[in-house]
A = this chain, B = another copy of it.
Amino acid sequence: MSNAEIRVAVLGASGRMGSEAVKAIQDAPDMELVAAQGRGDQLSEILSAGATHVVDLTVPESTEANVRFAVEHGLHAVVGTTGWDTERLQALEQLLAEHGSVGVLIAPNFALGSVLATAFAAKAAQYFDSAEIIELHHPKKVDAPSGTAVRTAELMGQARDAADVGPSPDATETALDGARGAEVAGIHVHSVRLRGLVAHQEVLLGSTGEQLSIRHDSFDRVSFMPGVLLGLRTVGSRPGLTHGLDGYLDLGL
């Protein structure tokens, strides 16, 4: 057993995200990978391996039990699995109240650049007359707009409402069906699907004589790993539940 303070067990280690996480943790000089579990492995083994932290990248059916197990045994948890509805979150918060020193991060998005882009867009939205979003993805994506674009639009819309900014000006009288995009929280959102692309989003903000554009390009799944490592390095000093990686960023927004 080494002296690394962050001794990590990866759950869901054979999945696409999980296998990247295994590599990233092995390469991190301040961490040690002590367990890499897949379907069928026994959770108790991560205790005998001396884990201090858990990364959960499994499936919605397993994640709740995994995280409960971690909290009950005093392990901090970084969770990228979806499926955490309000009921589950409330139950987790109750459990955490009984284990005051344990921290859990549940993050729907670990790409630092994407998290920053969304935070900046939400902050800037109140200062411009017009706001629209273009998201661009590979053509195998089945939904439009992307979840990130919907979330960004909602946050921007809330900020504009709170600051009493009126709707974006728009004199369109005649339009082909769909030309002006989908409307989410008062923000027009356009979804491009193009072979060669991965996952990209551009927020456009305009006022008389000026434009502010905030764009994030995700070229590869490995872009999530710096966020996972940041989560692991921070979660031990943030007892209780944190929802969203932005809670760990020095954004003061």
Contacts and interface: CB of A to CB of B under 8 A. Distances in A.
Most interface-central of A178, A179, A249 (chain B CB within 10 A): A179
Contacts of A180: 144, 178, 191, 193
- A contact face: mostly helix, strand, loop, or mixed: mixed
Interface stretch (A57-65, A88-96, A117-125, A235-243): A117-125
A203 to B, nearest CB: 10
Interface residues of A, number: 82
B209 A172 contact: no
Nearest to A129: B195
A183 B192 contact: no
Contacts of A129: 195-196
A66 to B, nearest CB: 26
Contacts of A170: 139, 193
Interface string A186-203: 001111111111100000
Given A178-B183, A246-B253, 7 more contacts: A112-B128, A113-B205, A132-B194, A142-B174, A194-B205, A219-B219, A252-B253
